[in-house]
Amino acid sequence: MSDRLDWNDLRERRMAEPGAAETYEATRIAFELGQEVRHLREGHGWSQSQLARAAGMTQSAVARFEAGGTVPTLPVLERLARALDRRLDVRFASNADAA
């Protein structure tokens, strides 16, 4: 049942470490990106293996990422975006901007 772990699990896990108050946000972003990739992938009707091949990675890497197991790097995000026919968008938004 530790299948789809949810956000609170990850939060507890990461917040236990020292100086994690900032990494916390990065972990949240990673988690959300994982969710989004899963949705996009399923929208394409692809398996993790198929996405992995399209993005130049392995099924295990896709699974790890979708589960929020790691905070992904920009190159990986870029490759996933390409495979899913998206554009990776990273920017410093004004704090007033809507989510």
Which listed residue (15, 29, 32, 56) binds DNA by CB under 7 A?
Answer: 56
Number of alpha carbons in the 13 Å side-chain half-sphere of residue 78: 4
Tell the residue number behind the tokens 């989004």, with chain if given.
Answer: 36
Binding-site size for DNA (CB under 7 A) equals: 26
List the interface residues with DNA, window 8-47 (CB under 7 A): 47
Q: Which of 2, 8, 94, 95 binds DNA (CB under 7 A)?
A: 2
Residues 40 and 84: beta-carbon distance below 8 Å? yes
Partner from DNA, a second copy, none binding residue 49, C-beta < 5-8 Å depending on class: DNA
